Structure 1
Amino acid sequence: MKRLLLTTALVLAPAAAFADTDVSEVIVTAERLPSTLDQTPDARVITRDEIDRRQAVFAADILTTVPGLSLSRNGGFGGFTSVKLRGAASDKTLVLIDGVVQNDASSPNGGYDFSSLDLDDVSQVEILSGPQGSIWGSDAIGGVVSFTTRDLDGLRASLEGGSYSTVHGSAAIGQVNAASAISASVSAYRTDGVSKAANGTEDDGFKSWTAGVRARIDLTDTVRLDGQVRYNEADADVDGYDAFFTFGDTTDRSKNRSWTGFARVRADQFLGLDQSLSVSLYDLTRDSISAFPSSYDARRATWRWTGGRGGASDPFAFLLGIERDDTEASISTGATSDLGATSVFAMARFSPVDAVSVTASLRYDDPDKFSGKATARIGATARLPAGFTAAASFGQGFKTPTISQTVCDFCFPAGPSTGLKPETAQGWDASLHWRSADDRYFVRVTGYRLEVKDQISYGVGRYVNIDRTLTTGVEAEAEAEVTDQLSIKVAYAFTDAVDRATGAELLRVPAQSGSVALWWTGDRLSGALTVRAEGEQADSDPSTFSPATRDGFTVADLSAGWKLNDQVEITGRIENLTDETYSESLGYGETGRAVYVGVRLKR
């Protein structure tokens, strides 16, 4: 483990790679003001090419190699899965699908469960690290993970099966032309699984399916309508506590159903601005099926107008926006409550000289039940001689109390919380990049600091603002195109995340993590070998609830594809190649060595 992390630290190559892709052509849309990667030092982009090469099925499969991102999962195959960026608690990661917020408003902390987020219809994943409150408002203290679904021109299908009686299939069809596009996709997954509890003996199965439809039509040369609807349903066996409150095998299940979508009209050069008006909708139902069953619902509607000028390559661009967000969710009593906010924001990017790009944003959020809050962010990049680029940014973030925290759900004695304040954060980072003239080599080292104030915790019978957390760290990445067919990518992160009041390490944030990936692309054969490692991390023993340490681990995955022709590819992959026994979260089980084979079709 130590040897791998040392090697990772010295080689310095990236996890979220863009091999075979011109970096100047990769557009970061989660910035709202479209920007290239060179203009957004806090952004990492995972392309469809990487998803396909690694044969990733779910979001968790592809995010584990992003430096500064820690993933917690309550057991393999459908266990509750959360993501932390730069040490900030998982509820401080804002999750978007096509710009629609996915965070669970009915959850006590408002976090998002990544366990069933299928990647089959995803074209690109963007990770913005650090406070992004001035861009996206509440919940973006740690950063943003944004998924963009894809248009399809033609037909594609895939079928895969393997260990643990796992079957995964997908199909999609679409048509794209200059004036319109429409596509539809469906994917399904089932497995007998493994025990969620590491000390369990029974398999815990998992089933999930996702369907989506995207469409656009150009009404005129300057006016376009587009929209999307996406539905997901997941059913997972879970382990927990029996009647004697002993942790282990149970017959409990969780069932989640969600749909999300948007409708938008865009008008270019209308009253001198490129304008957009959209409505986004999100609906979630999650059921816990056990001796003590429960059911929760959440709904969100967001109206948004934006107007601006300029594209990613222009020396000056700006964007103005107004949005209204209304959220409603149920609580443990069966009653429902709501929260809402009205926001205005502005962003601008300009280049005072050709080698320098500056981006600034300012936002004011006016929540219905809390005082208004302004947040700002500024970042700059400067091209230096010999292929070097320096970058730095400073940002603020905030998070309003959730519906559960506002009404003090699960509080004793019952009654609404009083005096709760929104959580706030500020952070900075600075990085140095180097890219070779032939674009075959890339290195980036980033240092950062993130402080969260007034973090909300459950105190003696109710929610209170007590915690102050501080994370400092270093993220190092690089890539090397060794030959036209072979590339190497490695990432390393050192993260020091502590509770400032007690000095204790924050839970489920490994101090050291790293990954190494080898990519091979030939005329017919392509493949990827990915090795990732995490050091020890502070955790909580699910059997005793006492502080404990989760051991570090190293796991390797191997994937390969053989093209029979332009339409048919045979695929195969081995997960956990060395059959490592490990846990993402202490006390929860993960899979041993697993083998899958499949076929992909396209025309």
Structure 2
Amino acid sequence: MAASALLLLPQANVALAQTPDFVVTATRTPLAVTQAGSAITVISGEEIAKSSPKSIADVLRHSPGLSVTENGGPGGVSTVRLRGTEASQTLVLIDGVRVNNPSLPAGEFDFSSIVPTDIERIEVLRGPQSAIYGSDAIGGVINIITRHGRGTPRGNVAVEGGSYSGRGLRAAASGSEGGLSYAFSLSSYDTAGFSRYGYRIGRIERLRAWPLEPDATGRIGGSGRIGLELSPDTRFEIGGYGSLNQAQYDAAFEPFPDTASESVHRFGEGFARLINDGLGGALRSTITVSGSTSRRSNRDVDPTSWLRTGFEGDRKAAEYQGDLKLGSAGLLTFGTRFENETFRSQESSVLPFPIAERETNDASRNTRSAYLLHQITLLDNLHLSIGGRIDDASKIDRFATWRATAAYVIPQSGATLRTSIGTGAKAPSLFQLYDPLFGNPLLDPEYSFGVDAGVDQRVFEDRGTLFITAFANRLRNLIDFDFGSPTCKPGAFGCYVNLGRARTSGIEVGADIDVIPSWLRVRAAYTYLIATDATTGLSLPRLPKHLGRIGLTFTPMRDLSIEPSLVFATSRPGTLGFARELPPYARLDVYGDYRINDTFAAFARAENITDAEYQEIPDFGTAGRSFYAGLRATW
């Protein structure tokens, strides 16, 4: 009954909070987790709500196969890498809308640009997924799904404060009536912060003649969506997300690394979607018009110069997706997409001598895509999928990708065997192609080939799941900066070229087990990763061989929960080719929640209780022992 109902839901962004055993990102349609051949992790809205409002990056640490780097605390550039691939090779979606930033050099997504609002769930799909999502999905896909309105109107407000003069606010309202549904949320956070450069790094602080100056951050974001049933067979949705992030930062260049620089980033995305069930319910047609925009302005300041730069990146797209039920022959998903990307940048100087604002980049491109995915179930328990996609981006070679998956369910033992194999591709960014100094219009797309296999096992009388996945990826045509390549423009000291190859492989282990019902729950994620430059044999930077998180949830009484969690990472190279390593670390956090009555609850967080000193990026500090507390009202 649940499966047939889910087939009536819209693609890629449906409300699944009440059906946690289903995902949508794996195949662009609702799918039971046990039928997914690809490795996928779901981070629930409940877990997200318990996290700090200052960063969504910390929430993503709950997923295996994923590493996060944050440039010196909240508001600093935050990037995510899946299975050892680059941040630019991870596709990020918000409610099915592509939000990778065309104005960044490699087209990656900066997670500091979003504030956790009323997020219903995050699905992390690992492995090459370009066959269904196109460019950028080499390492995988992260789909952030905001809340859908349903049922009786509900609302909540939460406020908190704590260390580093941190203050946070969250508010949300959602519900439905008749054929109308709605959900709106707002979130803000600001902090006096600490110096991004050198904070709690002894060898730097000891050499300073004066104290490091703190770098403050202020952020606000909001999301909203409205759904309307136009008829029994047709539904219309509109939604979007917007944020403003103001952050001070340090350039970290000698001889003045601790600078009074500042960045302002405005980000937004939105969509309008029409879903129609035709042919007696056999064909679902979805038409989506979407867009995203990024506006960044930087003021780089040090005693010798004052430079202002601005970066604008926009993406507009229109897409049709059809989902055709073939009865016993399965489900056929097909579609076509048109996308336009633009990138523009300007700079002006005040010191050492004023110059007028000048344009440094103005580029755009169109991409046309078509894809096909067939899913079928054989012998009741064998779930197969195979699909492919062609992407035709202007002025670069057309590229094709494919993917096949299999999942075999063994009902008697509660086990699911999974495997997937496929290719990924990433088109060169507009900056890499067309920057007047360093661009190279002769660049080819990056490519990958990946395979994984694993098993999910239900345990403790179906009260939890253990999983293990082994994976391997081969990447070629990687784009990197090369000094003095003959393909560079005359007079340039270097440019981007296709010269890299890399190999990544490893094992992902996870657990989510209700060990003692209503008293103790265990969640754990661990990744063993080997990531090397295939040309030099050197380990790729900032990727630990061992990375993990283990969290416990104690419920000693009905209205009280206590949740300690430990994040750990072994040593890893700070930069490719440099002998210096970032040391290992372990960070212990504790979250507590006490429900006062049906409306109010008090909560508190203690972060980095042991005051561990560690770095995610060389010479950039991280927060010390921190405490936060707040009050939440729900009605």
TM-score (normalizing by structure 1): 0.91
1:142 paired with 2:139, answer yes
CA contact (8 A) 2:55 2:74 kept: no
Higher relative contact order (CA closer than 8 Å, sequence separation 6+): 1
Give SS of 2:433's match.
helix
* Residue-by-residue CA offset, 1:65-90 (whole Å, 9 max, x unaligned): 32111111110111111111000011
CA contact (8 A) 1:161 1:167 kept: yes
C-alpha separation in 1, matches of 2:171 and 2:419: 43
**Match of residue 258, structure 2, among 244, 249, 252:** 249
C-alpha separation in 2, matches of 1:354 and 1:92: 36
**Match of residue 420, structure 1, among 438, 443, 453:** 443
Quote the offset at 1:30 in angstroms. Answer: 5.4
**Match of residue 377, structure 2, among 351, 355, 366:** 351
Which position in structure 2 is the counterpart of 1:47?
A: 44
Which position in structure 2 is the counterpart of 1:274?
A: 284
Quote the offset at 1:59 in angstroms. Answer: 1.4
The amino acid across from 2:571 in the alignment is: E
1:470 paired with 2:497, answer no
Which position in structure 2 is the counterpart of 1:58?
A: 55
Quote the offset at 1:359 in angstroms. Answer: 1.6
Quote the offset at 1:130 in angstroms. Answer: 0.9
* Residue-by-residue CA offset, 1:416-458 (whole Å, 9 max, x unaligned): 5243110011100010221137212322111100111100001
C-alpha separation in 2, matches of 1:131 and 1:305: 22
The 5-angstrom pairing of residues 358-507 of structure 1 reads: 358-384=384-410, 385-411=412-438, 417-436=440-459, 438-460=461-483, 461-485=494-518, 486-507=520-541
C-alpha separation in 2, matches of 1:67 and 1:442: 14
Quote the offset at 1:470 in angstroms. Answer: 0.4
Give SS of 1:249's match.
coil
The 5-angstrom pairing of residues 148-227 of structure 1 reads: 148-152=145-149, 153-198=153-198, 199=204, 201-227=212-238
The 5-angstrom pairing of residues 324-343 of structure 1 reads: 324-331=338-345, 333-343=359-369
C-alpha separation in 1, matches of 2:117 and 2:562: 19
C-alpha separation in 2, matches of 1:314 and 1:93: 35
Q: Greater CA deviation, 345-354 or 175-184?
A: 175-184
* Residue-by-residue CA offset, 1:272-316 (whole Å, 9 max, x unaligned): 5111111001111001112111000011001000111359x9982
Quote the offset at 1:540 in angstroms. Answer: 2.8
Which position in structure 1 is the counterpart of 2:313?
A: 298
Query: Measured at CA, do residues 316 and 113 of structure 1 come closer, stay the same or move farther in structure 2, by a change above 3 Å?
Result: same
1:80 paired with 2:60, answer no
C-alpha separation in 2, matches of 1:193 and 1:409: 37
Give SS of 2:112's match.
coil
Quote the offset at 1:397 in angstroms. Answer: 0.6
Which position in structure 2 is the counterpart of 1:594?
A: 626
**Match of residue 317, structure 1, among 312, 331, 337:** 331
The amino acid across from 1:252 in the alignment is: S
Quote the offset at 1:334 in angstroms. Answer: 3.6
**Match of residue 548, structure 2, among 514, 518, 536:** 514
CA contact (8 A) 1:23 1:37 kept: no
* Residue-by-residue CA offset, 1:313-353 (whole Å, 9 max, x unaligned): 99822211110010001146444110111001111211111
The amino acid across from 1:360 in the alignment is: I
Quote the offset at 1:547 in angstroms. Answer: 4.6
C-alpha separation in 1, matches of 2:578 and 2:260: 25
CA contact (8 A) 2:544 2:571 kept: yes
Query: Measured at CA, do residues 194 and 270 of structure 1 come closer, stay the same or move farther in structure 2, by a change above 3 Å?
Result: farther
For structure 1, the residue ranges without an aligned partner over 5 or more in a row are: 1-20
C-alpha separation in 1, matches of 2:308 and 2:550: 43
* Residue-by-residue CA offset, 1:129-161 (whole Å, 9 max, x unaligned): 111100110011111111000034322111000
Quote the offset at 1:488 in angstroms. Answer: 1.1
Which position in structure 2 is the counterpart of 1:103?
A: 100
C-alpha separation in 1, matches of 2:329 and 2:76: 46
Which consecutive aligned stretches of 4+ in structure 1 deviate over 6 angstroms post-superposition? Answer: 21-24
Q: Greater CA deviation, 169-178 or 68-77?
A: 169-178
Quote the offset at 1:527 in angstroms. Answer: 2.7
The amino acid across from 1:112 in the alignment is: F
C-alpha separation in 1, matches of 2:581 and 2:459: 42
Quote the offset at 1:376 in angstroms. Answer: 0.6
Quote the offset at 1:108 in angstroms. Answer: 1.1
* Residue-by-residue CA offset, 1:347-398 (whole Å, 9 max, x unaligned): 1211111111112221111111112111110110112342222111001110
Matched pairs, number:
573
RMSD of aligned Cα (Å): 2.0
CA contact (8 A) 2:54 2:189 kept: no
Q: Greater CA deviation, 420-429 or 28-37?
A: 28-37
**Match of residue 232, structure 1, among 243, 251, 263:** 243
C-alpha separation in 2, matches of 1:95 and 1:165: 31
C-alpha separation in 2, matches of 1:87 and 1:113: 17
The amino acid across from 1:190 in the alignment is: D
Query: Measured at CA, do residues 247 and 537 of structure 1 come closer, stay the same or move farther in structure 2, by a change above 3 Å?
Result: farther
The amino acid across from 2:570 in the alignment is: G
C-alpha separation in 2, matches of 1:289 and 1:395: 43
CA contact (8 A) 1:53 1:528 kept: no
C-alpha separation in 1, matches of 2:364 and 2:132: 23
The amino acid across from 1:258 in the alignment is: F
1:525 paired with 2:560, answer yes
Quote the offset at 1:23 in angstroms. Answer: 7.5
Give SS of 1:44's match.
strand
The amino acid across from 1:36 in the alignment is: A
Query: Measured at CA, do residues 567 and 270 of structure 1 come closer, stay the same or move farther in structure 2, by a change above 3 Å?
Result: farther
Query: Measured at CA, do residues 56 and 252 of structure 1 come closer, stay the same or move farther in structure 2, by a change above 3 Å?
Result: closer
CA contact (8 A) 1:80 1:113 kept: yes
CA contact (8 A) 1:224 1:266 kept: yes
Quote the offset at 1:490 in angstroms. Answer: 1.9
* Residue-by-residue CA offset, 1:80-117 (whole Å, 9 max, x unaligned): 11111000011101111011111110111111111242
C-alpha separation in 1, matches of 2:191 and 2:20: 41
**Match of residue 66, structure 2, among 66, 69, 73:** 69
Query: Measured at CA, do residues 23 and 223 of structure 1 come closer, stay the same or move farther in structure 2, by a change above 3 Å?
Result: closer
Which position in structure 1 is the counterpart of 2:352?
A: none
Q: Greater CA deviation, 125-134 or 488-497?
A: 488-497
CA contact (8 A) 1:24 1:38 kept: no
The amino acid across from 1:427 in the alignment is: G
C-alpha separation in 2, matches of 1:309 and 1:56: 41
TM-score (normalizing by structure 2): 0.87
* Residue-by-residue CA offset, 1:28-69 (whole Å, 9 max, x unaligned): 345312212212241111011222344565211211232111
Give SS of 1:111's match.
coil
The amino acid across from 2:582 in the alignment is: R
Identical amino acids, percent of aligned pairs? 29
The amino acid across from 1:86 in the alignment is: R
